[in-house]
């Protein structure tokens, strides 16, 4: 059971938009920044979004992030087949003194 | 270019021990905290341990507390994870990951640990 809650899967057609939610509590998302990772099959997680809504320079602006209260959302527009991956949210939990992650969301581009 | 390269994984019997290493390059290792995170086959990410830049602060997940020990050698740009009393449920890919204080940014490619019963 993960501390952060994500939907197990989402799907959408190429070119469409999809959002992935991440729900936590006051000790983690509510009190910390949210980070998002993309994990392509057989590879290590890759930083996608940090400090809620900042993109590393190599990440296209099709990806966006937001946070409100104890929840966060990752948005992806103009879906491409190469976006098919597992997406994880993460945050520091001040009560646990630990990094906590969501269970991951599998994105399928139909 | 930031690089983290894990090594030391392999097949070990239940109850056995293993020591993982993580070699860092491309950044000033001594200025960053680092973490160990694992991923069991077909499962999500599980954070295991945090060690501050000067080793003064260390945290562990309850699942490994008392069995795993994290350490680092800043002169060697290396991070270690000593794993004792290994269980079948410790079977996973183990990643080291750089801590930027507000986020965990760079990850290594991982090393596979398989605990046989």
Residue B71, SS3 per DSSP: strand
Instruction: Please check whether residue A51 touches B, CB under 8 A.
Output: yes
Distance from CA of A97 to the nearest CA of B (A): 7
A58-66: average pLDDT:
96
Give the burial class of A110: count Cβ atoms within 10 A of its Cβ; 0-12 exposed, 13-18 middle, 19 or more buried.
exposed
pLDDT tens column, B12-44: 999 999 999 999 999 999 999 999 999 999 999
DSSP-based helix, strand, coil % in chain B, nearest 5: 10, 55, 40
Residues B86 and B20: their CA atoms lie apart, in Å, by: 13
Rg (CA), chain A: 13
B97-108 per-position pLDDT tens digit: 999 988 999 999
Residues 75-104 of A with CB under 8 A from B: 88, 90, 97-104
User: What count of Cα atoms within 13 Å lies in the side-chain half-sphere of residue A3?
Assistant: 24
- Quick one: residue B48, left, alpha or beta (phi over 0 = left, psi -120 to 50 = alpha)? alpha
Q: Given an 8 Å threshold on Cβ–Cβ distance, is A44 in contact with B44?
A: no
Cβ–Cβ under 8 Å, residues A59 and A46: no
- Indicate yes or no: CB of B104 within 8 angstroms of CB of A35: yes
Tell me, yes or no, if B106 comes closer than 8 A to chain A by beta carbon. Answer: yes
Scanning the structure block, which residue is given the tokens 């959302």? A73
Cα distance between residue A11 and residue B47, in whole Å = 27
Asked if pLDDT for residue A75 goes beyond 90, the answer is: yes
The answer to whether the Cβ–Cβ distance between B47 and A2 falls below 8 Å is no
pLDDT digits (tens, 9 = 90+) for A92-101: 999 999 999 9
Average pLDDT rounded to a whole number, residues A89-93: 97
Q: Which residues contact B56 (CB under 8 A, 6 or more apart)?
A: none
Provide the pLDDT for residue A1.
84
pLDDT tens for each residue of A15-24: 999 999 999 9
Which of B58, B103, B106, B110 best probes binding to A when mutated, by most A CB atoms within 10 angstroms? B103
Mean pLDDT of A16-38: 97
> Taking 90 as the threshold, does the pLDDT of residue A47 lie above it?
yes
B window 7-36, beta carbon within 8 A of A? 35
Q: Are B87 and B96 in contact (CB under 8 A)?
A: no
Interchain CB distance below 8 Å, B103 and A35: yes
- Is the per-residue pLDDT at A45 higher than 90? yes
pLDDT digits (tens, 9 = 90+) for B50-82: 999 999 999 999 999 999 999 999 999 999 999
Look at residue A9 and give its three-state secondary structure: strand
Reference A58, options A50, A66, A67; nearest CA is A50
* Percent of chain A surpassing pLDDT 90: 98
Q: For B13, what's the count of Cα atoms within 13 Å in the CB-facing half-sphere?
A: 1
The CA-based angle A72-A78-A83, given to 5 degrees, is 70
pLDDT at B12: 97
């Amino acid at each position: 059971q993960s501390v952060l809650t994500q939907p197990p899967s989402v799907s959408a057609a190429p070119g469409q938009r999809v959002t992935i939610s991440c729900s936590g509590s006051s000790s983690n998302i509510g009190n910390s920044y949210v980070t998002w990772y993309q994990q392509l099959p057989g590879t290590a997680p890759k930083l996608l979004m940090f400090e809620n809504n900042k993109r590393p320079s190599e990440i296209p602006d099709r990806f966006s992030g937001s946070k409100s209260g104890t929840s966060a959302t990752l948005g992806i527009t103009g879906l491409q087949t190469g976006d098919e991956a597992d997406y994880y949210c993460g945050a520091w939990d001040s009560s646990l003194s630990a990094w906590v992650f969501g269970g991951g969301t599998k994105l399928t581009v139909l | 270019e930031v690089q983290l390269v894990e090594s030391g994984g392999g097949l070990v019997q239940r109850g056995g021990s293993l020591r993982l290493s993580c070699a860092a390059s491309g950044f000033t290792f001594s200025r960053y905290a680092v973490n160990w995170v694992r991923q069991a086959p077909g499962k999500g990410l599980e954070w295991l341990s945090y060690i501050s830049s000067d080793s003064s602060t260390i945290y562990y997940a309850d699942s490994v507390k008392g069995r795993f020990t994290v350490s680092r050698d800043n002169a060697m740009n290396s991070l270690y994870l000593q794993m004792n009393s290994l269980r079948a449920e410790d079977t996973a890919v183990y990643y080291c990951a750089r801590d930027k204080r507000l986020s965990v940014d760079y990850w290594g490619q991982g090393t596979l640990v398989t605990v046989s019963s």
